[in-house]
Amino acid sequence: MTYPTFPENCTSMLCKHLTPELFEQLKDKKTANGFTLEKAIKSGIENVDSEIGVYAGDEESYEVFAELFDKVIEEYHQFSSTDVHESNLKAEDLNLRNLDTSYILSTRIRIGRNIKDMPLGASISKEQRDEIEKDVSSVLNGFEGELAGAYHPLLEMSQEVQLQLIEDHFLFKDGDRFLESSGLARHWPHGRGIYHNHDKTFLVWLNEEDQLRIISMQQGGDVVEVFSRLVTAMKEIEAKVPFAYSERLGYISSCPTNLGTAMRASVHIKLPNLANDMEQFKAIADKYYLQIRGTDGEHSQSKGGVFDISNYRRLGITEVEAVQDMIDGVIALVDAEKSLEA
Ligand code: ADP
Ligand code: IOM
């Protein structure tokens, strides 16, 4: 493989940090699973509009290709190579301050998880992936009370049901070019599916970008209720399923943006006036460590002034701090929206 050429307008962290010198230093390295630099950067080369453009194939990727991953991690999470990750799951430590929930349409908090001692999705075998689907879905199907529901494999789902679940924001999309280039969509739709409770307030995606995406969501802006449900579910699952975790990097994920808490706490919020003042919108987002996504999630556009606003950093801060970043930022955005309305 030779050093890739990126277009001049490429802004991904891959094209920013992968210098010709670093490429030479890493290009012949391999993890025990056979994961190479070529595989790690394939998605970013084929999708030059990536935000990051690099994926890990296993926990060891973060060590073998540390000179590249650490640069991304440091820039994305403001987390240096000597920092350590900490956790706080106490809902009572959240400070809602004067959060005006009338602008919030819905709230969702998700975490990514991967199975201990298994390769990550970009280098897992079909048999290993199928085994994860079988084991985890049988744990989930045993849940009772509010979390009780059923697992629905993609293979057995009609196209109509699948499209409806995607449109209603419950299910991951199909045919994601970033996942396809990275090797994360191999053997699709085998091994993929969604578990959800009866009210669709607790959901688990299996074998998409991460082996598990554990999700709590509901209409409106009750962040504490959404967080508390997520923590209950997470503890129940973790008691039965061992997850990949590192002292330094927290929970291990396919994408370096999802290390640490692997938590993205978001609201769908209508901000039509700020939508017409993107300079102010982005300045507030930067100040409060927010990520602005479109109505249908990552790599999508806003529809009708509805945005997906979430915490940006996920490593080097606790779960409570991740959600607090979102709350503080949303308060500032709503204040700005109200001023523009006036
Ligand atoms: P992830 O959150 O796992 O990183 P995406 O950004 O693709 O992945 O979002 C997945 C789905 O969740 C999308 O349909 C998105 O619109 C939906 N979603 C995200 N936040 C909210 C929210 N607060 N309310 C409703 N749906 C949401
Ligand atoms: N997490 C991943 N889907 N994303 C950051 C892709 C990218 O744009 O690089």
Task: Decide whether any atom of ligand 2 lies within 6 Å of the 53 Cβ.
Answer: yes
Dihedral Cα 76, 78, 84, 87, nearest 10 deg: -70
CATH of domain 91-341: 3.30.590.10
Cα angle at 145 between 142 and 148, to 5 degrees?
45
Collapse the DSSP code of 25 into the 3-class scheme (helix H, G, I; strand E, B; otherwise coil) and give the result.
Answer: helix
| Among the listed residues 234, 214, 255, 106, the one whose alpha carbon sits nearest the alpha carbon of residue 169 | 106
Determine the Cα–Cα distance for residues 306 and 90; give it in Å rounded to an integer.
30
Which residue of 176, 292, 298 sits with most ligand 2 atoms within 8 Å of its CB, as the best mutation to test the pocket? 298
* pTM of the predicted model as reported, rounded to 2 decimal places: 0.98
Average pLDDT, the chain: 97
Tell which atom from ligand 1 comes closest to the C-alpha of 169.
Answer: 14
Q: Would you say 265 is a known binding-site residue?
A: yes
Determine the distance separating the centroid of ligand 2 and the alpha carbon of 53, expressed in angstroms. Answer: 6
pLDDT tens, position by position, 125-148: 999 999 999 999 999 999 999 999
pLDDT tens, position by position, 148-196: 999 999 999 999 999 999 999 999 999 999 999 999 999 999 999 999 9
User: Given this structure, which CATH class describes domain 13-77?
Assistant: mainly alpha
Ligand closest to CA 11: 2
Phi and psi (nearest 5°) for 179? -70, -40
Beta bridge partners of 205: 194, 213
Task: Decide whether any atom of ligand 2 lies within 6 Å of the 50 Cβ.
Answer: yes
Q: Average pLDDT in the 57-74 region?
A: 98
pLDDT tier at 81, thresholds 50, 70, 90: confident
Determine the Cα–Cα distance for residues 120 and 101; give it in Å rounded to an integer.
38
Task: Decide whether any atom of ligand 2 lies within 6 Å of the 51 Cβ.
Answer: yes
DSSP H helices in the chain = 13-17, 20-26, 37-46, 61-64, 66-77, 126-141, 159-167, 177-182, 223-238, 272-275, 278-287, 319-341
| Domain coordinates in residue numbering, the chain | 13-77, 91-341
Write down the pLDDT at residue 314: 98
Strands (E), 211-320: 212-219, 245-246, 250-251, 263-270, 290-293, 306-311
Ligand closest to CA 113: 1
